[in-house]
Structure 1
Amino acid sequence: MKIENNKVVQIKYVLTDAEGNQLDASGDEPLAYLHGNHNLIPGLEAELTDKQAGDKFTATIPAEEAYGPVQEHLVQSGVPIDMFQGVESLEVGMRFEAQSEQGFHSVVITEVNEETVTVDGNHEMAGMDLTFEIEVVDVRDATEEEIAHGHAHGVGGHHH
């Protein structure tokens, strides 16, 4: 059975950056996703289309088809430290949920000064070309409920 829209696909993967550093991996449980519902980055979904169970391949996805380029307007310097109430010591690399007009989004501290910090709201993998080593474990038809909900249920699926 080939991978196409509204199939539930189980994949095992190892994700590395351009230097070969491992960023993520599926581990023991394969990841299950519903194909064609934007559950994966666009470039990876394109690579998986028409593959079938047992296929193993490596794909490098350019940043534009992954998490997009780094967007400078998402980097804010001069944020007053007192915005982070209740945090004893702010350190580079700390991640916070920030609220803006667009709702909640994740930011990471990239610089700490005496009275201000710089935060970056880009996805941590923005601007990066990503290499996936993929093994397709299983392909099946999605249930009507999965299609209605837009994601896979059961083993490796997301629970909301």
Structure 2
Amino acid sequence: MTITKNCIVTLDYHINDTEGNLLHEEEESLVYLHGNYGHIFPTVEKALEGKSVGESFTITLSADKAFGEYDPSLVISEALSELPVEVSVGMELDGYFEEDSDDVIIYTVTEINGDHATMDGNHPLAGMDLVFEGTVLDIHEATPEEIKEVLEFHQSH
């Protein structure tokens, strides 16, 4: 069986930078519904189309196709007294765009200086070209119930 629309695909993968340094490795396999449902990067999905169980893949994504270019305007400084909890460097906090309260942004505290914290709303891998490497572990045709379940799960998260 090969990867086609409406297959549930299980991948073992890791992400490197273009120099081959490991950036991210999942301990658990990635399971997704194939077919342009927006669950994985479109470029990765396109490259996986037609692959079989046991096949490996190496897919390079430029920053704009992965987690976006680094946006310096997403780096903010907040008074510690304005923050809901005692913060430490490396901590992640949810924030909102003032003009759109539905759009949650995750800020990582990058520095604490006196009574202010510097927080970065960029994804940790923003601005980087990435190389996805892995192996196809399993493919099966999704039942209508599975498709419904997956779509409902992604809408609620």
Shorter-chain TM-score above 0.5: yes
Is the 1:58–1:132 contact (alpha carbons within 8 Å) kept by the matching residues of 2? yes
What amino acid maps onto 1:73 in structure 2? S
The reply to whether residue 143 of structure 1 matches residue 143 of structure 2 is yes
- Pairwise CA distance, 1:65: 1.4
The residue number in structure 2 matching 1:72 is 72
The residue number in structure 2 matching 1:10 is 10
Is the 2:13–2:132 contact (alpha carbons within 8 Å) kept by the matching residues of 1? yes
Identity %: 36
Is the 1:12–1:25 contact (alpha carbons within 8 Å) kept by the matching residues of 2? no
The CA distance in 2 between the partners of 1:151 and 1:25, in whole Å, is 25
Counterpart of 1:148 in 2: which secondary structure? helix
Specify whether residues 30 and 85 from structure 1 end up closer, same or farther in structure 2 by C-alpha distance, changes over 3 A only. closer
The residue number in structure 1 matching 2:90 is 93
Is the 1:14–1:132 contact (alpha carbons within 8 Å) kept by the matching residues of 2? yes
The CA distance in 2 between the partners of 1:82 and 1:102, in whole Å, is 24
- Pairwise CA distance, 1:151: 5.0
Counterpart of 2:52 in 1: which secondary structure? coil
Output the aligned Cα RMSD.
Answer: 2.4
The TM-score normalised by the length of structure 2 is 0.81
Counterpart of 1:102 in 2: which secondary structure? strand
What amino acid maps onto 1:97 in structure 2? D
**Structure 1, unaligned stretches of length 5 or more?**
154-158
The residue number in structure 2 matching 1:50 is 50
Specify whether residues 85 and 147 from structure 1 end up closer, same or farther in structure 2 by C-alpha distance, changes over 3 A only. closer
The CA distance in 1 between the partners of 2:9 and 2:38, in whole Å, is 13
The reply to whether residue 104 of structure 1 matches residue 100 of structure 2 is no
What amino acid maps onto 2:146 in structure 1? E
**Structure 2, unaligned stretches of length 5 or more?**
none
The CA distance in 2 between the partners of 1:34 and 1:151, in whole Å, is 9
- Alignment size in residue pairs: 151
